[in-house]
Chains A and B, each alone.
Chain A
Amino acid sequence: MAAVKGVGLGRALLRLFAVQGSYNYERLLGLGVGVAEEPLLRDLADGRYRPAVARGAHFFNAHPYLIGLAVGAAARAEHDGAPPDQIERLREALCGPLGSLGDRLVWAGWLPFLSGLTLVAVALGAGWVAVATFLIVYNIGHVALRWWALHAGWTHGIRVSTALHHPVLHRATALLGPAMAFGVGVALPLAARFLAAPFPRWGQLAAVITAGVAFLLLRWRGDRLSGLRVALGLAAVALVVGWIWP
């Protein structure tokens, strides 16, 4: 167990960076989870190793940064001799909470918050330094979260749900929501100013009006329209307008 903890956890962490490498519609992230879990299972007895590897590669889906929690917990449960159906149930039970927590913490918090701050800095003239800072700061949080998840999963095993109630996670989620909203809110007008600065007056006015109409369209028919579809549609209209404008 001690050897597993050192080398095995390091290998599992490295493999977790590629956990979505074989993403598919049948097992979703299952294969990647199995590959990440395998180094932690190597010292299981002969008759238990292969069934544990096979179980690790079953269907799984969650936020990629928090999957380590499931990987560590399932591997620890295998070492502790938990029954196979209990391990399967543990994996199933973790999909939803890990997905939901990761989405709120990262995709709807940490990432857009830092991205918004970066857009503000770029719009105010900070240039590539702002982008480099974004990459560094974002990945400090990213790698720390991946490591914490794997370590917590391995520590708690079948009782991993206690790790999900860690106060830091809940405080971070509570803080990042408003911070993201405020940061991106500041970024939008400054980004508009930055992008439309070289336009003539009529172009700036047209950009504001068109953005307003497109926003309402996206809010109204968000179920059928996407930003890309609206952008391609507007580009097509712009080409036609340019063509017929004498």
Chain B
Amino acid sequence: MDLVSLPQMMIARPIVAGTVTGAILGDIPTGLKLGLMFELLQYDILPVGAVRYPEYGPATVAAVATAHAAAGVLGLGLGALVGLVTALVGGFTINELRRLNSRIIHAASTTLESGDPRALMRLHVGGVLRDALRAALVTAFGLFLAWLARPLLAGPLSARDAIVLATAAVASALAAGAAGTFRLVGKGPNLGWFAAGLGGGLLVAVWLR
């Protein structure tokens, strides 16, 4: 809900949602790991105009709930998969909610043109409540997926399969993060700063090995 409606304070930002979910489950490291992964995916999105985008906040909650059931890499890949599906569904519901809001507001256009402040407030609060319900349903859907996925951790998904899945998830998050940043940076003078940052980050990463 924080993503669009209220209060846009970045509570639903993946790195925050993941950490809070991890804290609730008593597993902050898993929350941080998946939060960081989905935060990189979030870089791919620039929410300008009426652009459509996936919803990574509830996705991260579902991912952490899935990954919490298994330690290390095993939960990471499956958690990411559950989160990605939840993000897709979340994005779809945002679009559908906006269409529904459009129909409701179009039907009330005569009342709105009369300048009735109560009608205006009623329509607006209705939108906020519908988004709250939508966000709750998306999160519940993600948690349901997490519950469905848990048996896979104990059965058909081997440790190697889980590593392959986690590798794909991490690689796509890094690619999305880099591509999204590249789009923001452009080909102007900031490109040099981006390159300098990448170089510095690489040096630190190598130094820490």
Contacts and interface: CB of A to CB of B under 8 A. Distances in A.
Interface of A: 17-18, 20-28, 31-32, 34-35, 38, 49-54, 57, 61, 64-65, 99, 103, 107-108, 111-112, 115, 118-120, 122-123, 127-128, 131, 134-135, 138-139, 142, 177-196, 198-200, 203, 206-215, 217-219, 222, 226-228, 230-232, 234-235, 237-239, 241-243, 245
B128 A22 contact: yes
B140 interface: no
Nearest to B121: A35
22 contacts: A22-B124, A25-B50, A35-B121, A49-B115, A50-B114, A53-B117, A120-B201, A128-B32, A179-B193, A180-B184, A180-B185, A184-B177, A187-B201, A192-B170, A195-B37, A199-B73, A207-B167, A207-B174, A209-B171, A211-B174, A231-B173, A238-B168
For the complex, would chain B's binding face be called helix, strand, loop or mixed by DSSP majority?
A: helix
Contacts of A187: 197, 201
Given A103-B46, A131-B19, A218-B176, A235 B80 contact: yes
Nearest to A35: B124
Contacts of A203: 73, 163-164, 166-167
Most chain B C-beta atoms within 10 Å of own C-beta, residue among A22, A211, A219: A22
Interface residues of B, number: 108
Contacts of B200: 182, 185-186
B4 interface: yes
B137 interface: no
A22 B179 contact: no
Contacts of B77: 235, 238
Given A181-B185, A189-B202, A234 B172 contact: yes
Interface string B130-160: 0100000000000000000000000001101
Contacts of A242: 157-158, 160-161, 164-165
A46 to B, nearest CB: 11
A122 B10 CA distance: 17
Contacts of B43: 112, 115, 184, 227
